Structure 1
């Protein structure tokens, strides 16, 4: 197959030249717009502008003179008077309390405490034993259910097999080998 005479790189039809030039110009303009938009700084958001007006402290708020706060009079701080030295030694003896209103601590009988601890230990062992029996019964019940489910599944399989084989015995044709019904 011979190349077409208009298929040369040096020779381009006029429409093709226009198409390539248009594409290049469009791409350059798009790139320039993207670069300009990307590198322009964003304007800060507008804040409230205006003149701050002080209407004064009066209800009417009229006049050209802005009222000022009344001056605060500062009184010079006088130094505190020196403390009067008192004689700390007195002739009276210091009184103390001879009795307490605190509750008495009951003395624990060691024998009663030992019996109480033994009872608590016996109750704990009884609870543990009952819990172990309960868990054992639950395990036995779960095992029994599992065995029953397994036996039922096997029986279902046997029944389905038996039905399938029994149905195939009756499934036959009433035609003769001659092909006549």
Structure 2
């Protein structure tokens, strides 16, 4: 249908131009033909209807009427109708959709990872809180057992004193630094004084206090190489098996705080072994002390 319209337009344009050329040709020929002068009486040349005199005035140029100018009509070319372009199908933005899906998946994975991390942190906090509760309960239990043990020891100590006993030095039965068996000191002195005065004592210079428990073997002598002297009291904690689980030197009754003597006493106290206890009523841990008397080398 478009091709027929195109041919019709071209044919109409040709016919129009042909007619236009014929008209221009006819008009041009008619304007250029000079009509012959008609024969008759000769008339004096003049330009006016009136005049006077015998002399012919100078001839004036008579302007011929201008021929009409034929303006050529510009040829109008008819543009053939443009073919309408068919609308192209819309492009499917698959790349954008894939990118959006990837971003959404990454977002979901990040949210899942954050959730798992938060749950793990919460679990760690709960475990730490539970451990603190267990530790506090264990400390409270040990403190209660120690309190009961101290009460029992205090009662036994009072009973022993009432019968003339001395519970402050159970074990070797000897105390002092003179290097001989005996209780070094003065009969008029105080049992809490560290000034020995004349008298004898155990050569090793070691004694212990742990109610109802006996030493297995003998207490180790502290190893030291410094030329110093003094008394170091080590507070010990013993379990049911008889092992020393803690040893803290410098307890009440110590006369020196030299770090080298304190460390030597601590190492020696950690090697001490006492008899086991099997009674279910016995405390799990029992406190006592070991006293070391250092002398000059």
Check whether TM > 0.5. no
- TM-score under structure 1 normalisation? 0.36
Of structures 1 and 2, the one scoring higher in RCO (CA 8 A, sep 6+) is 2
Higher-strand-fraction structure: 2
Higher-helix-fraction structure: 1
- TM-score under structure 2 normalisation? 0.22
Q: Which has more radius of gyration?
A: 2
